[in-house]
Structure 1
Amino acid sequence: MANARQSASHGANHNGSSSGHRMAGKNAIITGAAGGIGLETTILFLREGASVLMCDISEPALERAVAIAKKAAPHMVGKVETAQCDVSKEAHVKAVCEQLDSWGGLDVMFNNAGIMHGDDADAVDTPEKIWDLTQAINVKGVWYGSKHAILSLRRHSKTCGSIINTASIVALVGSATPQLAYTASKGAVLAMTRELAIVHAREGYRFNALCPAPLNTPLLQDWLGDDKEKRLRREIHFPMGRFGEAIEQAQGVLFLASDESSFINGQDFVIDGGLTRAYVTADGPGPEAPKNLGR
């Protein structure tokens, strides 16, 4: 079963299969799948022929998200299921990875779940419990996801696999609006991803870190609210004059998950509209943003 799925995947992507699906035959787990990047990635994966297990800590949010995903991918050839999962608990992560054994084992793991707590601050004002909670979800969660993805790939004798871990541009550049626990956790994700990429390269298992800029998600927009100064302090740094969209990150994840990126490994995959490369921000109106599929 596993070998048949793997052959189908290789045929679809390397040999020009008539299916035309970039993820044909692949089984994927996406954590933090109930919204934002996770939901947008789910939709793209389903449209491109994958089967997806959507995982999130909130079951009601998952119910809403899977309905959106099915509507946005009406012609999907794979299947989609949901599983409640707290990524800070290894037993939960182990269980969702083993759930894919009946599918033939996983091929893609997108460790996307993470938090940025409202009480996260600087070295002086960040509470220890917020530090510990952030590291448990953002770092241990990625470790658990990577560990059990590797075990699944080995269990099913897979010779290729893609693990994508969500980091952030704050792991690459400093911010004067501190969120120290979050920043430290994302730096850890980058370092961990690089090492895993090298350790498992000869097994054919690729690890890459997605580094998004701030996005136009409900979470961020609700947090910014009507505070024009807080909003301007962030918007002004974007050369394109706008926040990124979740769909733009999801397109990058789709590429990293597919066989098209077969020689990309251990990379900090930055999708930020040029923010981390800017010295002086461009003037004038910005281009229109793409529409998110999950809204």
Structure 2
Amino acid sequence: MTSLLSRALPAASRALVSRRAWTRLSSTAAPRVLPEFSMQDKVCLVTGAARGLGNEFCRAFLRSGCTSLAVVDLKEAEAKDAAQELVAAACLNSDLAPSDFKVIGLECDVSSEMSVQKAFAETMDAFGRVDAVVASAGIVENYSAFDYPFDRIKRLYDINVHGAFFTAREAARNMIPQGGGSIVLVASMSANIINIPQPQTPYNASKAAVKHMAASLAVEWAKKGVRVNALSPGYMLTKLTRTILSHDQELKKTWESLTPMGRMGEPEDLAGAIVFLASDASRFMTGSEIRVDGGYCVI
């Protein structure tokens, strides 16, 4: 029957049938994705990556084809453990083996410029380049303005602001000689709005600084091939947040009621945004902010 049909159809029609058949076969074999979103052959580095959102960013990169990754966190043992867990998760239900990945765990205190420089030196020694860097390390604390201890404020700014700057600067220093790269600074919706009911003025100000830092560095490095953008999450249900809210269900209800979508975000809700910003899909985008907040900032 197929041969009779082929003889009866003109060449152009046979080609059309073949393309349609191939499309059907391809769609069942694997999802079709815009190639620019692929992280294949890119070396990625993520700070604050042993847990929380930083760890989720690592997972997103590995799921998008990255096989060369530096997992950076304050404690070396936790960074190395996270690296092993990420590889194991990437191989699950996959035809890939652990040997297909090179994922390293590195110790780094982002509040120390020397520590950040050391982490990048180790990354360059291991991979020879770095293409996408996410400055995700950060902390939040809730004190009223009158009660906030100065040493805690200083620590918060050292990690959230200075840490982001040190990370971005070392990333650019290594990216510029190779022709460029993408840097993502993790800010927060708190860079744009004032969170209620919890008091957190220094945190809000620190994230506003990170957002503006991304825009400023983007202009400074735009002609050198280095893109810098900010990702601003809303309330996300990380493991730590779940633990905190398990003892304060009213606070969870308040946050959900203030969010137009009526829920808090899951960490994986950020996967698409981080891959977009880090990949070639956003190659003409720099100095911008993407908010993933369930609509919180628009009301």
- Would you say same fold, with TM above 0.5? yes
Pairwise mapping of residues 162-241 of structure 1 onto structure 2 (< 5 A)?
Answer: 162-176=182-196, 177-241=198-262
- CA contact 2:57–2:271 (8 Å) conserved in 1: yes
Identity of aligned residues (%): 34
Q: Once the 2 structures are TM-superposed, how far is the Cα of residue 123 of structure 1 from its aligned partner?
A: 2.0
Sort the Cα spacing of 1:257 and 1:124 in 2 relative to 1 into closer, same or farther, 3 A: same
Q: Can you list the C-alpha shifts for 1:46-66, whole angstroms capped at 9, x where unaligned?
A: 232321100011334324322
1:175 and 1:40 mapped to 2: Cα distance? 24
Match of 2:72 in 1: 55
- CA contact 2:71–2:80 (8 Å) conserved in 1: no
Which of 118, 122, 147 in structure 2 is aligned with 1:99? 122
1:21 and 1:261 mapped to 2: Cα distance? 9
Q: Classify the secondary structure of the residue corresponding to 2:178.
A: coil
Match of 1:109 in 2: 133
Match of 2:87 in 1: 70
- CA contact 2:37–2:280 (8 Å) conserved in 1: no
Q: Can you list the C-alpha shifts for 1:32-51, whole angstroms capped at 9, x where unaligned?
A: 10112211111221232321
Amino acid at match of 1:116: V
- CA contact 1:217–1:245 (8 Å) conserved in 2: yes
2:252 and 2:294 mapped to 1: Cα distance? 17
- TM normalised by structure 1 equals 0.82
Match of 2:158 in 1: 136
1:244 and 1:200 mapped to 2: Cα distance? 32
2:277 and 2:82 mapped to 1: Cα distance? 23
Match of 2:144 in 1: 122
Amino acid at match of 1:171: A
Match of 1:147 in 2: 169
- CA contact 2:236–2:267 (8 Å) conserved in 1: yes
Runs of 4+ in structure 1 off by over 3 angstroms are none
Q: Classify the secondary structure of the residue corresponding to 2:57.
A: helix
- CA contact 1:21–1:49 (8 Å) conserved in 2: no
1:31 and 1:141 mapped to 2: Cα distance? 9
- CA contact 1:168–1:213 (8 Å) conserved in 2: yes
Match of 1:36 in 2: 52
Amino acid at match of 1:92: S
1:60 and 1:244 mapped to 2: Cα distance? 29
Over alpha carbons, which structure has the higher Rg? 2
Amino acid at match of 1:158: Q
- TM normalised by structure 2 equals 0.81
Pairwise mapping of residues 14-29 of structure 1 onto structure 2 (< 5 A)?
Answer: 22-29=38-45
2:37 and 2:207 mapped to 1: Cα distance? 32
Q: CA RMSD in A?
A: 1.8
Q: Can you list the C-alpha shifts for 1:167-211, whole angstroms capped at 9, x where unaligned?
A: 000110112321112111101101111100011101111100110
Q: Once the 2 structures are TM-superposed, how far is the Cα of residue 21 of structure 1 from its aligned partner?
A: 7.4
Q: Classify the secondary structure of the residue corresponding to 2:54.
A: helix
- CA contact 2:37–2:276 (8 Å) conserved in 1: no
- CA contact 2:230–2:289 (8 Å) conserved in 1: yes
* Structure 2 segments unaligned to the other structure (5+ residues): 1-33
Match of 2:20 in 1: none
Amino acid at match of 2:232: C
- CA contact 2:37–2:275 (8 Å) conserved in 1: no
1:233 and 1:266 mapped to 2: Cα distance? 32
Match of 1:287 in 2: none
Q: Classify the secondary structure of the residue corresponding to 1:174.
A: coil
Match of 2:19 in 1: none
2:153 and 2:81 mapped to 1: Cα distance? 30
Q: Classify the secondary structure of the residue corresponding to 1:200.
A: helix
Sort the Cα spacing of 1:78 and 1:48 in 2 relative to 1 into closer, same or farther, 3 A: farther
